[in-house]
Structure 1
């Protein structure tokens, strides 16, 4: 590849990331309904055709934002899990609390990752590595020789998602979230 081609590819990757960052910032400040190609084009100072050369519409932009979010979440969950010496209740508690904190602190990003339509594939051979890495952090909280580790991880993740969405929408009070996490670990995860 020539130096000119490499430079063009670098510039394209930078534009791509600039669009993702702008979409994320706009969603975080004004909500996803404010994220339109026209607004993004104005914000990044490129034409709408340039945006469409990177993304085939809003769903593709949301998917790219979500993919970035899964990378961040995977890193945070990994650090939380590794902050505890071994698989078990303490590791699962650290991962659960980190997950809920992420959902609370980044509601627009969480919405892109789990609520809005995306092109991302879950639980299949086509699942992106960052999504798999998130799931693996939950699985790794259970003893390696434990039965149904993947199933237990799915149930815990599903319960946390429910807690996050219900809390965000005011359906359950924010106080008591720690008690919910403790109950989840004690009963559903069967680690206590």
Structure 2
């Protein structure tokens, strides 16, 4: 291995460490606790080293969001692959999405609440974000019907899931009715 390859590998390892540490700190204490000073202390590198990887907290949030989008897409696809029939796949998708939001609140915030400097619903949207949406559309597109554009249907269903995730987490919807809300949402679909 050349010196340049080793340095590139070490740089990639440091970057993964920064993202993992930021994510861990945010999950434990919230995003307000994530500062470059704290990250530098935790990973035992100087702040200039952090800045050589990320221009600041905003880019770190974006990196966590991209990692989370990849994980969300995988969770949704795995859940849908294990389900039989369109309605069961949609229910599995909804449960996987809501479970992901509940298990990873800081990552969910990085994806959908905080400014990570990422472009959404545009030509320059990063591939992991496009893939997460595609994972939703793979199942939702099959139940959209001829009357709706599959992307619009997916956006609308996603918005409903996001609302459920956000309102439940904020305590505005009682958590004990989460399964009932998913059932109600899925049963109202005009699935063939």
TM-score, normalising length: structure 1: 0.93
Asked if structure 1 preserves the Cα contact closer than 8 Å seen for 2:168 and 2:175, the reply is yes
Q: 1:191 to 1:51 in 2, by over 3 A?
A: same
1:190 and 2:177 aligned:
no
Q: CA deviation at 1:55?
A: 0.5
* Residue-by-residue CA offset, 1:160-186 (whole Å, 9 max, x unaligned): 001001001001100111111122223
Offset at 1:145?
Answer: 8.5
Deviates more, 1:115-124 or 1:94-103: 115-124
Structure 2 residue 28 is matched with structure 1 residue 29:
yes
Note the alpha carbon deviations across 1:44-68, whole angstroms, 9 max, x for none: 0010000001001111110001111
CA RMSD of aligned residues (A): 1.6
Pick closer, same or farther for the CA change 1:129–1:144 going to 2, 3 Å.
farther
Q: Which residue of structure 2 lines up, in the alignment, with residue 59 of structure 1?
A: 58
Contact 1:81 1:137 survives alignment (8 Å) = no
Aligned-residue offset at 1:144 = 7.9
Which deviations, in whole Å up to 9, do the C-alpha atoms of 1:91-114 show, x marking residues without a partner?
111011000001111111111111
Distance 1:41 1:71 in 2: 26
Q: Which runs of 4+ in 1 moved over 6 A?
A: none
Deviation at 1:84, TM superposition (A): 2.2
Matches within 5 A, 1:152-191: 152-187=153-188, 189-191=189-191
Give me the TM-score of the superposition, normalised by structure 2.
0.93
Could you tell me which runs of 5 or more consecutive residues in structure 1 were left unpaired when the two chains were aligned.
none
| Count, aligned residues | 189
2:129 aligned residue: 131
- Please give the alpha-carbon distance, in whole angstroms, between the structure 2 residues aligned to 1:94 and 1:145: 16
For structure 2, the 5+ residue unaligned runs are none
